[in-house]
Amino acid sequence: VAFAFMSAAFTAAAHVKVAFMHPFVRDLYKRAILVGRDYPHKDGLDYVRKTWKKALRDPSNCPLYYNSSDRAKDEKDIEREILKAVGRGRYMVKEMAGIIQLKKYREMKKRYGSNDGADKLEEALRLLSENAENGPKTGG
């Protein structure tokens, strides 16, 4: 009885299409999730996860992979298109990192005020350099 159950399970599993994810695409998704931890959105990481999953599953991002009827002939073209799409994705990860850095910079500037102290320091250094160029003043 157990053998019959196992053989039925194997035949059912044989008809299921297994999804394959290219290693570069998996790496790209991991990078996006890692960077997305600090993404400035009200949903944060959940928003990044949903957006990236939607983008990775969208056939318009890599049409040859989804629409190719003769896979053996188009294998090199598909690989080239996947690499190109991964390159665009890596660019988007860098853009996400830039947005996060900008948000952190603005928060620090808001928290600690403007750079008035730096302006005062620059003024003091300018006065010191002017005094050094003119030489010491003698009382005479």
Q: What's the helix, strand, coil split of the chain in %, to 5? A: 80, 0, 20
- Give the chain's end-to-end CA distance (angstroms, integer): 116
Q: Is the model's pTM score more than 0.75?
A: no
List the structure tokens of 127.
């006065």
Token look-up 């102290």 returns 117
Angle of CA points 86, 34, 23, to nearest 5°: 35
* pLDDT tens-digit profile, the chain (140 residues): 444 444 444 445 445 444 678 899 999 999 999 999 999 999 999 999 999 999 988 888 887 777 766 655 678 888 888 899 999 999 999 999 999 999 998 888 888 876 666 677 778 778 877 777 776 555 54
Which conformational region is residue 135 in: left (phi greater than 0), alpha (psi within -120 to 50 degrees), or beta? left
